[in-house]
Amino acid sequence: MNDGVKKFFGWLLMIIGGLFALLTGGCGLILIGASANANVAGIFLMITGIPCLVGCGLFVWEISLVLKKMIKLITITRTSNVYLIDGKCDEW
């Protein structure tokens, strides 16, 4: 798969995960705040909390993949006056 396609789907999944977490978490908070009964609030928390955790997990997972790739691009390895930057060899 092309690197641009991977990057696009990575960012797309990160945005979807963030929106999923934000919208389900926000909806859950509104429903819990509107309910006067503690049992109903617990049910709302179960129904909206699990998708919110899934969205947070997806967002954090994609952020870690993006940051790992960025750190890999920044890392410079020096071996005998030759610097390896992103797998390409540059003479110093």
Q: What is the pLDDT of residues 6-27, one digit of tens each?
A: 778 878 888 888 898 888 888 8
Residue 83: predicted pLDDT: 54
Percent of the chain exceeding pLDDT 90 equals 0
Across all residues in the chain, what is the average pLDDT? 75
Residue 87: predicted pLDDT: 55
3-class SS string, the chain: CCHHHHHHHHHHHHHHHHHHHHHHHHHHHHHHHHCCCHHHHHHHHHHHHHHHHHHHHHHHHHHHHHHHHHHHHHCCEEECCEEEECCEEEEC
Q: What is the tally of structural domains in the chain?
A: 1
